Structure 1
Amino acid sequence: MTEILETEAAANDRRRAQVRKSLARRNGAETRFKMLGLASVLAAMAFVAVLFGNILMKGVPAFWQYNLDAEVYFDPAVINLPERPVRQAGQSEADFRAEMLGWQRRLALVNWNRLIVAAVENAGSGVEVDDRAAVSIIDSGARFVLRDMVAADPALIGQTVPVRLLLSADGDNWAKGKLSRDLPDNRQQLTRPARDAIDALIASGAVHPAFAWHIFTNVDSRASPASAGLAGAFMGSFYMMLVVILLAVPVGVASALYLEEFAPKNRVTDLIEVNINNLAAVPSIVFGLLGAAVFINIFHLPLSAPLVGGLVLTLMTLPTIIIATRSALRAVPPSLRQAALGIGASKMQMVFHHVLPVTFPGILTASIIGVAQALGETAPLLLIGMNAFVANIPATPLDQSAALPVQVYLWQGNENRNFFEERTFAAIIVLLGLMILLNALAIWLRTRLERKA
């Protein structure tokens, strides 16, 4: 009997040892899995931090550009203009318009660079600079600024007015130290007098950095790269997203509702579902080819128009919204549908009064994320001509325009790499900021709607 008890005790000890070893092995595997998961999360966060850090480090300096605070004398000898026309009693609209156009034509022919040269010389505190060097360090758009000031108020002629003039792209590069000072003069982008003048103006405090608000208010410019901005591209993206919201969201949600709640389950609906899932994985450039073939070649819609871009992005966004909406509808418990039908509600009432309100947070989140994804698309827009240079802010979705991601693409390929590299990253910051705002809006709306539900 004693031997039997000892044998059983030994067997129990072996089993306990095996259990302990198994538990230790499983606990070790669980710990390793947790560590790998944590390492993966930390690695992903590190990569995102490096990405955003690199973008911010290179893009934030572009939001500050060097300006010259100068006293501009609107010399009457240079601005040789008659008084601004005033419509006389009995004068026809056509005659007054012709007189005004003649005055504006003479205003445009004024040599505004002479005023800029004089302003640079006066601000230089005795620094000698020739006319060519003085003009080269100031953005070429400055003459249009002076022209518009006089056009708005002709009384400025003969007065000295403090004006902030933007430095040219090369002048800004030199002031920021992005151009090597060791290169010989024949390899420098600015002449020696121009470089010396910038250094002297910085030392005197006349040239200093200021926040570049014109990035948000000006359109793209090839003649005045230092004053180029994102206003035209921003409005183009706005019109495109407006088209996407007005078309993709209602059509996508309605399609998902029909397929999930009303459509019969047969081979046709199965084929439609498979095609929708396949369309969600189609490269975006294919939608650009489709848009160019259908909307431009067949329907003859205007090239480079936000309307065409919005239609192409709508086709690309529809599968995402349909799939996400159907997933939200499937997450509704069947008991809710059965309860609604049990109290006498029709199927239409059951879907729109009971099921759809529950799925609002998921549908809204999917729609906003789909719009944010469409906002960052570039390839389909290139194929419908939205990479063309457009120096105007579009007034309607039918006007030619660029878009924010396309503007990034255009600036990235600009030959003045020293200046536009920073400007490209600044445009990326603006684009990422809009996408982050859209995603934050989706999270906030979802949380708010879920709380109400």
Structure 2
Amino acid sequence: MTDAALPHATVTTGASTRRDFGLKRRHAAEFRFRLYGIVAIIIGLGFLAILLVSIVGKGYTAFVQTAITVPVEFSASIIDKDNERATNPRVLVSANYPIIARNAVAKALGVSTDDKAAMREIAKFVSDGSRSMLRDIVVADPSVIGTTRNVTLLAAADIDSANKGQIDLTVPQDKRKVSDLQVGWLEQLKQEGAISTPFNWGLITFGASSRPETAGLGVALVGSLYMMAIVLLCALPIGVAASIYLEEFAKKNRFTDFIEVNINNLAAVPSIVFGLLGLAVFINFFGMPRSAPIVGGLVLTLMTLPTIIIATRAALRSVPPSIRSAALGIGASKMQMVFDHVLPLATPGILTGTIIGLARALGETAPLLLIGMVAFVADRPTTPLDPATALPVQIYMWANEAERAFVERTSGAIIVLLLFLALMNLAAILLRRRFERRW
């Protein structure tokens, strides 16, 4: 009996061995697949880290600005020599304020104003933006004329770069933009406590400027805000209404199939095509103003619509059919079923798709270039019809500037844009978790 059982036991053992070998092979394949996934994630995170380190390393210095605090004499002989300000207030606007700033710095350095060579170096030491700064002080309070007050002036871009260590001062003088005399003055003012590096609010508030130290994102931020508001007001209701009709009310036929195919195709169309469409329709046909946020907002609305429609339809589909059946079963009309039961449950997906669409629109550059939003705009727009620019377009324009100081401002603007995008994506995640229901 024992001998008869041996062959059976041998066969069973062989099958078990084959099963064990196959199981080990599957486990090895699964381990390799997991390893490939981990390696892919590490590579992706590595490139992301390199990108962020590169941007932050170049751009964090843009958030501080070198400033010079010196006693400034608001000389009446320069500002209002003939004492006309009572009858002609325009003299306060047209006064030679750069001379006042240069004289103040020269006095703080102990340099004679008669030394023309030294005064030319001082003119390159202080930003020309001091003109508007001193003018605003005098216009706001004409009583300062004839007095001396401590004023904080912006340093010129090259001096700012030298103070931040971005210029190699060990190379010969003829190979750098900062002279040895200016370097000596910078060290002198540092020892006297006249040099500071406060937070650069001008990066957020100033408009376009050809001088790096007075260039800011103020116009671009307001323009982007106007455009995002227009996209939200136009794309959200139109996209949700179109999605509800296609998903809940439209009959399935060739016409609706044609619409669905085109919506999916539009979601993949390059953004520059929407810029060409906006140029042809809104500017050339309807005659809307170039460089205006209203046009940019409408163009971005067309680009965002497919994304919102696709996301909204997916959110509507995710609502269980039992909800519809239950609502109709208790006597609700189809309209009541959609708006009172299905739509509230689909809201998290709709909000997520909308915010993601807005984030994509916020980072678009190509369509805005085609509708002329690369204009040099120094004053913030007060309405969506006024000329403006946008954050990504401002980054594009600064990246094309030749001056060294615009490099840090370009990276600083990218950091601001990335912060906005991160906040919008975080809002999408929080809203989804707040309103999401699991079935």
What TM-score do you get using the length of structure 1 for normalisation? 0.92
- Please point out which of 424, 430, 438 is paired with 2:416: 430
- Does the residue aligned with 2:332 lie in a helix, a strand or coil? coil
Confirm or deny: 8 A CA contact 1:285 1:379 kept in the other structure.
yes
In structure 2, what is the Cα distance between the partners aligned to 1:449 and 1:122? 65
What is the total number of aligned residue pairs between the two structures? 435
Question: Could you tell me which residue of structure 1 aligns to residue 181 of structure 2?
Answer: 193
Which residue of 1 is the match for residue 156 of structure 2?
168
Match of 1:145 in 2: 133
SS in 2 for 1:65: coil
Q: What is the CA–CA distance in structure 2 between the aligned matches of 1:381 and 1:359, rounded to whole Å?
A: 32
2: distance between equivalents of 1:393 and 1:369? 27
Please tell me whether residue 115 in structure 1 is matched to residue 134 in structure 2: no
Q: Aligned partner of 1:175: which letter?
A: N
The answer to whether the Cα contact below 8 Å between 1:78 and 1:110 also exists between their aligned partners in 2 is yes
Q: Aligned partners of 1:310 and 1:429: how far apart in 2?
A: 23
CA distance in 1, matches of 2:325, 2:186: 78
1:215 and 1:146 mapped to 2: Cα distance?
19
CA distance in structure 1 between the aligned counterparts of 2:58 and 2:207, rounded to whole angstroms: 22
1:156 to 144, 148, 153: 144
Measured in 2, the distance between the counterparts of 1:120 and 1:284 equals 50
Aligned to 1:90: none
| C-alpha contact 1:360 1:449 (8 A) present in aligned 2 | yes
Letter aligned with residue 49 of structure 1: A
How far the C-alpha of 1:26 sits from its partner, in A, is 1.2
Tell me which amino acid in the other structure corresponds to 2:308: I
Residue 149 of structure 1 and its aligned partner are, at CA, apart by: 0.7
Please say if residues 78 and 111 of structure 1, whose CA atoms lie closer than 8 Å, have aligned partners that are also in contact.
yes
Q: Distance in 2 between matches of 1:345 and 1:148?
A: 65
Could you say if the C-alpha distance between residues 126 and 240 of structure 1 is closer, same or farther in structure 2, counting changes exceeding 3 Å? same
Asked if residue 82 in structure 1 is aligned to residue 67 in structure 2, the reply is no
The amino acid of 2:205's aligned partner reads T
Match of 1:216 in 2: 204
Structure 1 gaps, min length 5: 86-98
Structure 1: which amino acid aligns with 2:423?
A: L
Counterpart pick for 1:283 among 257, 261, 270: 270
1:100-145 deviations in whole A, cap 9, x for unaligned? xx321x2233222232122112322669872111121111010221
Q: Residues 362 and 200 (structure 1 numbering): CA distance in 2 closer, same or farther, change over 3 Å?
A: same
Bigger drift between 10-19 and 109-118 goes to: 109-118
Identity of matched residues, %: 50
Matched, 1:373 2:373: no
Residue 430 of structure 2: aligned partner: 444
Q: Give 1:420's aligned residue.
A: 406
Q: Measure the CA separation in 2 of the matches of 1:267 and 1:110.
A: 72
SS at match of 1:29: helix
| Structure 1 Cα separation of the partners of residues 47 and 239 of structure 2 | 34
User: 1:50: Cα distance to partner?
Assistant: 2.0
1:57 partnered with 2:57: yes
Correspondence for 1:244? 231
Deviation at 1:147, TM superposition (A): 1.3
CA–CA separation in structure 1 for the residues paired with 2:341 and 2:190: 68
232-241 or 114-123: bigger deviation: 114-123
The structure-2 alpha-carbon separation of the partners of 1:81 and 1:37, relative to structure 1 and needing over 3 Å to count, comes to: farther
Is residue 351 of structure 1 aligned with residue 338 of structure 2?
A: yes
The AA in structure 2 aligned to 1:119 is A
- Matches of 2:165 and 2:424 in 1, distance apart? 37
**Residue from 165, 172, 194 that aligns with 1:206:** 194
Give, as a single letter, the amino acid of the residue that structure 2 aligns with 1:433.
L
Letter in 2 for 1:21: F
How far is the alpha carbon of 1:187 from its aligned partner? 4.0
Structure 1 position 318 matched with structure 2 position 305: yes
SS in 2 for 1:335: helix
- State the alpha-carbon separation in 1 of the partners of residues 23 and 243 from structure 2: 48
User: Structure 1 residues 452 and 137, CA, compared in 2 at 3 Å: closer, same or farther?
Assistant: farther
Question: Is the contact made by 1:235 and 1:393 (CA closer than 8 Å) also made in structure 2?
Answer: yes
Instruction: Provide the C-alpha distance between the structure 2 equivalents of 1:231 and 1:45, rounded to a whole number of angstroms.
Output: 32
Deviation readout 1:53-89 (Å, 9 max, x if unpaired): 221111111111111011111122322252643xxxx
CA distance in 2, matches of 1:342, 1:35: 51
Shift of 1:185: 4.0
8 Å Cα contact 1:116-1:134 kept in structure 2: no
Give the secondary-structure state (helix, strand or coil) at the position aligned to 2:197.
Answer: strand
Q: After TM superposition, give the deviation of residue 154 of structure 1 in Å.
A: 1.1
In structure 2, what residue type is equivalent to 1:23?
Answer: L
Range with greater deviation from structure 2 (7-16 or 135-144): 135-144
TM-score by length of 2: 0.95
Paired with 1:144 and 1:349, the residues of 2 have a C-alpha distance of 61
- The 1-side partners of 2:335 and 2:132 are apart by 62
SS at match of 1:371: helix
What's the CA shift string for 1:412-453, capped at 9, x where partnerless? 00010x101100000001111111111111111121112699
Partner of 2:216: 229
Asked if 1:309 corresponds to 2:304, the answer is: no
| Other-structure match for 1:88 | none
Secondary structure of 1:265 counterpart:
coil
- The alpha-carbon distance between structure 1 residues 429 and 7, as it changes in their structure 2 partners (threshold 3 A), is same
| CA shift for structure 1 position 183 | 4.6
Residues 140-167 of structure 1: per-residue CA shift (max 9 Å, x gap): 0102211111111111112111111110
Structure 1 range deviating more: 264-273 or 436-445: 436-445
State the match for 1:396 in structure 2: 383
Partner of 2:15: 15
Structure 2 unpaired stretches of 5+: none
1: CA distance, partners of 2:327 / 2:42: 47
Maintained 8 Å contact 1:123/1:206: no
Q: What is the CA distance between 1:181 and its match in structure 2?
A: 2.8
1:238 and 1:273 map into 2 onto residues whose CA distance is 31
Question: Any residues of structure 2 matched to 1:245-260 within 5 Å, and which?
Answer: 245-260=232-247
Helix, strand or coil at the partner of 1:421: helix
Q: Secondary structure at the match of 1:117?
A: helix
